[in-house]
Amino acid sequence: MNDLPPEPEPGAEAAPVPADHPDRLRWNAKYEGGAAPSFRPHPLAVRALSEPPPRGPVLDLACGPSGGALLAASEGRRVTAVDVSETALGLLGEEARRRGLGELITLVHADLAAWTPPPRSFALVLCTGFWDARVFGPAADAVLPGGLLAWEAFTLDARRVRPGLPAEWCLPAGAPASLLGGAFTVLDQRDVPDTRHGTKRRMLARRDAGG
């Protein structure tokens, strides 16, 4: 993919995240205190990129130090990577520059509850390790016709091993596929059991070419 579009990255503008935003504080502390990131791409990112999506950019929501963003960029795609933690974005940006991919990845520091992606703009919208029902609809709207939506998050069942996990961070039965309108075909939705960390659900769907 060498014929990259010259226009500015879609959705690069974002309102400043308040310094005392609880998610920002919590995740910055985790990334500052944690082990060095592996930058290993999430299996769902690998699967989605191998489908493959049509030509066009990738949106990685709640990206963290995302190996998926790096993989997509290494395949010549432009990536918009959004996270509330500037520490995570810093780690991702540093690794992208080290790999010579810095130009392809636009880092967006934003609270996803306050940031909306532009509609019909991305060949792949990816989100792993995050669920907020308010974010899902606009994320699905951001998928180009023929493009892919890939999501993984904890299910409500995960609260059996992680009782502290708020219900609103967990997928209810059937979601997220059940929340998609008729414009999508679900390619796969499955539970990924994990008796130690909690069960997650993984979904891959394609927006119909005329959708």
Ligand X SMILES: C[S@@+](CC[C@H](N)C(=O)[O-])C[C@H]1O[C@@H](n2cnc3c(N)ncnc32)[C@H](O)[C@@H]1O
Which residues are at the interface with ligand X (CB under 6 A)? 23, 27, 42, 62-64, 66, 83-85, 88, 111-113, 128-130
> Who contacts 171 (Cβ-Cβ below 8 Å, separation ≥6)?
131, 153, 154, 155, 156, 201
C-alpha span between 125 and 33 (Å, rounded): 29
How near is the Cβ of 7 to ligand X at its closest, in Å? 24
Of the pair 16, 181, the CB lying nearest ligand X is at 16
Question: How many Å separate Cα 2 from the centre of its chain?
Answer: 24
Of the pair 106, 128, the CB lying nearest ligand X is at 128
Residues paired with 190 in a beta bridge: 202
Of the pair 84, 204, the CB lying nearest ligand X is at 84
How near is the Cβ of 176 to ligand X at its closest, in Å? 15
Which of helix, strand or coil describes residue 104?
A: helix
Which of helix, strand or coil describes residue 182?
A: coil
Of the pair 114, 183, the CB lying nearest ligand X is at 114
> Who contacts 174 (Cβ-Cβ below 8 Å, separation ≥6)?
none
Instruction: Provide the 10 A C-beta neighbour count for residue 12.
Output: 13
> Who contacts 209 (Cβ-Cβ below 8 Å, separation ≥6)?
145, 146
How near is the Cβ of 112 to ligand X at its closest, in Å? 4
> Who contacts 160 (Cβ-Cβ below 8 Å, separation ≥6)?
198
Of the pair 188, 208, the CB lying nearest ligand X is at 188
How near is the Cβ of 46 to ligand X at its closest, in Å? 12
How near is the Cβ of 119 to ligand X at its closest, in Å? 19
Of the pair 88, 144, the CB lying nearest ligand X is at 88
Compute the C-alpha angle 155/159/160, nearest 5°: 115
How near is the Cβ of 11 to ligand X at its closest, in Å? 13
